[in-house]
Amino acid sequence: MSKPIKIEKLAPKKPHGLIVVITGNGKGKTTSAMGMALRASGHGLHVCIIQFMKGDLYTGEWDGVKMLGDLVELHATGMGFCGIQGNSYSHAEHRTSAQTAIELAQTKMSSGNYEIIILDEINNALKLKLVDLEQVLGLIKGKPKLMHLVITGRNAHPDIVELADTVSEVCEVKHAYQKDIEPQPGIDY
C-alpha cells in the first residue's frame, strides 16, 4: 500500500484583493470565471456573479451554481447579446438592463458579504456603450481592499487592463462552429 499524500492548505502571508481580467476572442472567458467561483466555494468563500449580457438563452451555470449552495449566487441581469443572435431588444432596453446591473454590482460590493465578485461580459457591455467607462473604473477603484474582482468579456479597455493585477487573454485557435457544429450543452452554454 502506498503512503497517503499529505495535502497542504496554503494561506497568503499578506491577503490582497485582486483585479482579474479575462478577455480575448476565444471561448472560455466565462468558463474560467465560473471555475474561479467553483474553486472559491471549495475554500468557503462567498461569490457573487453578475452577468451583463446573458439572460435570454439558458446556460448551464444558472442551475450549476445552485448546487454550490449559499456560497455562490448568480444574477443574469442581461437581455441577451445586444444586436446579435436575433436578439430583438433595443439598445435602450439593453442599456437600462446594464445600468441596473451596475447598481446591483455597487450594492453587492458595498455589502461586505462577498470575497469575490464576477462581472461577466462587462467588457462587452462597455464596448456596446451599455455601460460607461467611468462606471466600470468606479467599480474597480471602489472595490473593498480584500475583495477580488473578476471582469470578463472581449475587448477589455486599456484603462481596465492597466488597473488589473492579472490579465488573461483567451485566444481562439479553432472552434467547432467553423465546422458547422451547433453549440453543445455543458461545453458552450
The CATH number of the domain holding residue 42 is 3.40.50.300
Residue 186 is predicted with a pLDDT of 86
For residue 34, is it within any domain?
yes
pLDDT bin (cut points 50, 70, 90) of residue 163 is very high
- Asked if pLDDT for residue 188 goes beyond 70, the answer is yes
For residue 12, is it within any domain?
no
For residue 189, is it within any domain?
no
For residue 186, is it within any domain?
no
Cα R_g (the chain), whole angstroms: 17
- Asked if pLDDT for residue 86 goes beyond 80, the answer is no
Residue 75 is predicted with a pLDDT of 97
Residue 82 is predicted with a pLDDT of 74
Give the total number of structural domains in the chain: 1
pLDDT tens-digit readout, 30-68: 999 999 999 999 999 999 999 998 877 889 999 999 999
pLDDT tens-digit readout, 2-36: 888 898 888 899 999 999 999 999 999 999 999 99
Alpha helix positions (H), the chain: 29-42, 61-64, 91-111, 122-127, 133-141, 158-163
- Asked if pLDDT for residue 85 goes beyond 70, the answer is no
For residue 13, is it within any domain?
no
Give 171: exposed, middle or buried? Use CB within 10 Å, 0-12, 13-18, 19+.
exposed
Nearest one of 74, 37, 77, 70 to 56, comparing CA atoms: 77
Residue 39 is predicted with a pLDDT of 97
For residue 184, is it within any domain?
no
Residue 69's domain spans which residues? 19-171
Nearest one of 113, 127, 115 to 157, comparing CA atoms: 127
90-94, 101-105, 170-174, 178-182 — most confident range: 101-105
pTM of the model: 0.92
- Asked if pLDDT for residue 102 goes beyond 70, the answer is yes
For residue 31, is it within any domain?
yes
pLDDT bin (cut points 50, 70, 90) of residue 84 is low
For residue 78, is it within any domain?
yes
- Asked if pLDDT for residue 118 goes beyond 90, the answer is yes
pLDDT bin (cut points 50, 70, 90) of residue 185 is confident
